[in-house]
Chain A
Amino acid sequence: MTRRSLAHLFLMPLALLFVAPLVWMALTAFMPDADINTYPPKLWPEHFTLDGFRRIFTEDEYPLWLANTVIVAGSAVLGHVVLCSLAGYGFARIKFRGRGVAFAAVMATIMVPTQVLMIPTFLLFKNMGLIDTLGAAIVPWLASAFGVFLMRQFFLSLPKELEEAAIIDGCSPLGVFFRVVLPLARPALATLVVFTLLGAWNDLIWPLIAISSESGYTLQLGLATFAGARHTEWSALMAGNVVAVLPLVLAFILAQRHFVATMSFSGLKG
């Protein structure tokens, strides 16, 4: 037996084991509750229905949670794309007093874990009147040290000649940034968008702390909180899971080819 067929023998059962729960989750989302609540469980939807999805998009608080998640994750992505690339460019290309200190301060925050920050941040936001608003869920996601670092490393890897030519042509620093640099940054931005989406879309502990009204929940928080209480609503929960998971799976598959390139220029690769 060759080494390659041995590799398939090892990889194939494991790969199927890894995707099986997700495939089954998607199939269950198309079953009526009566079929889900039987034993032994059905593997295939015999009575195909879209009822679970109809409920997720129209009933109870589900549509609100979905809208909140889209707003939070959308703001996070927008904030990261604008603020992190501006800062990454400033740190990579513009010489100004205090640059080293400011960059070091940003990088130092990578070491500080969430659980140290959540109590004082809760108190800070409570004083600002942000607690229990979507703003509380959004503000911490507007920028991150990882995002600034990623963009700075990318801009350092770009040749300077294009920008210099644009400056000689009379372009302002912001003009250079928006017209010349940002269009070249698409692979780095794709990585930034996907990782920000992953973090903000899936975030659980911060919305759990910052948001107390059910109508303000994100989809993840709503699913996590009510999963135990709504055991009879499996089809809606599974449809909710599909809706919660699908955008990220698609984003990752679409952006996959950019990752290896990004990992190598940011120095994250081995």
Chain B
Amino acid sequence: MTAPTMSRTARVSAPSARRSRLVPQLTGWGFVFPATLVIVGLSLFPAVWALLLSLRDGDLLTGGDFVGLANYGDMLGDAELAASAGHTLLYTVLFVPGSVVLGLALALALNLKIRLIGFYRTCFFVPYVVSAAATGILSNFVFDPDFGIVNAGLKALGLPAMGFLQDPDQAMLTLVAISLWGGVGMPAVVYLAALQDIPRELIEAARADGGAGRHVLRHVVLPQLRPATVFLLIWQTITALQLFDLVYTTTKGQPLDSTTTIVFYLYRQAFQLFHSGYGTAIAYVLFIVTLAVSGAVLWRGAK
């Protein structure tokens, strides 16, 4: 087809061609626009706004004045924030490896095609759907130092009673234990699905070559599970760094501020002390730390 012919055809059918091009455009946008508006409008737009807020000294009612990076500078000398970061770090280094390793152990045992697999899977997964509010009420009830059933059990065994959530040295560890109860089902289910994807021949071949169970696990199974492990490490780390709900429903940061996490501290700064500029600055730094940690895990996992 030569150029003049093409342009004449185009001129003749211009209106209908434009309509036939326009209709799928409008149809496409019609399908995606409502969800895109809600998601992008309540995410990217506030994210940019938050960055601007973090450069002002707003008090949640008025916008405040532009203060440059002062909020970020203030974070360096904030001892309470440093303590909250320490508590969050302690929680993260215990919860993330704990939940991933326990999840893997459960999945390996479940993958032996044993009986009662449906019962087991339900038992480990159900706590995952229990809300933080219900978990909190139940925890306060079970771990109550004076009336709780756990101390009643310890006493029956002749062991000394413990303070649990009311002891500054034990409160964070108790929260880790409660989180493992609620947080191990997800890794177990993800690992179980990944294990069932490993070709049987691969494992049979390794066994036939005389590999002991331990070696097959280490050199055949674990490398196959690597994508699942990378995903779970990132997911659980993000969850741990953002710990708030369980703290709010159990200790509210107490005793002696020993369970104040970064997000709990941020919530208090922004919505109880009305330091919204400072609160958004903390949120942004946490966001960047989360991205950096996820990036590092992805980079290590890709090697």
Contacts and interface: CB of A to CB of B under 8 A. Distances in A.
A and B bound?
yes
Given A86-B34, A90-B32, A119-B276, A106 B39 contact: yes
Q: Looking at A102, A103, A124, A140, which has the most chain B CB atoms within 10 Å of its CB?
A: A102
23 contacts: A11-B114, A15-B123, A39-B147, A40-B155, A86-B31, A96-B25, A98-B29, A99-B32, A109-B44, A112-B44, A113-B242, A115-B266, A118-B270, A120-B47, A120-B49, A147-B35, A202-B132, A204-B132, A208-B248, A227-B136, A241-B134, A256-B122, A263-B193
A234 interface: yes
A84 B38 CA distance: 10
A18 B103 CA distance: 13
A120 B42 CA distance: 9
A268 B191 CA distance: 11
Contact of A220 (B106, B133, B225): B133
B129 A252 contact: yes
Given A209-B271, A269-B197, A227 B152 contact: no
B19 to A, nearest CB: 14
Contacts of A219: 133
A229 B24 CA distance: 58
A217 to B, nearest CB: 11
Interface residues of B, number: 93
Could you tell me the dominant secondary structure of chain B's interface residues? helix
Contacts of B189: 259
B227 interface: yes
Interface string B200-211: 000000000000
A104 B132 CA distance: 32
Interface string B18-54: 0000001111111110111011101111110110010
B53 A7 contact: no
Contacts of B156: 40
Given A22-B127, A22-B130, A173-B31, 7 more contacts: A28-B141, A116-B46, A148-B35, A224-B136, A224-B137, A248-B129, A259-B189
B50 A270 contact: no
B176 interface: no
Nearest to B294: A111
A106 B109 CA distance: 39
Contact of A115 (B39, B110, B132, B283): B283
Contacts of B228: 269-270
Interface residues of A, number: 97
Interface string A60-96: 0000000000000000000100011011011100111
A121 B279 CA distance: 13
Interface string B95-123: 00000000001100110101110011111
Contacts of B248: 204-205, 208, 224
A18 B181 contact: yes
Interface string A1-16: 0011001101100111
Given A119-B276, A123-B60, A94 B39 contact: no
B28 A90 contact: yes
A124 B112 contact: no
B72 interface: no
B93 interface: no
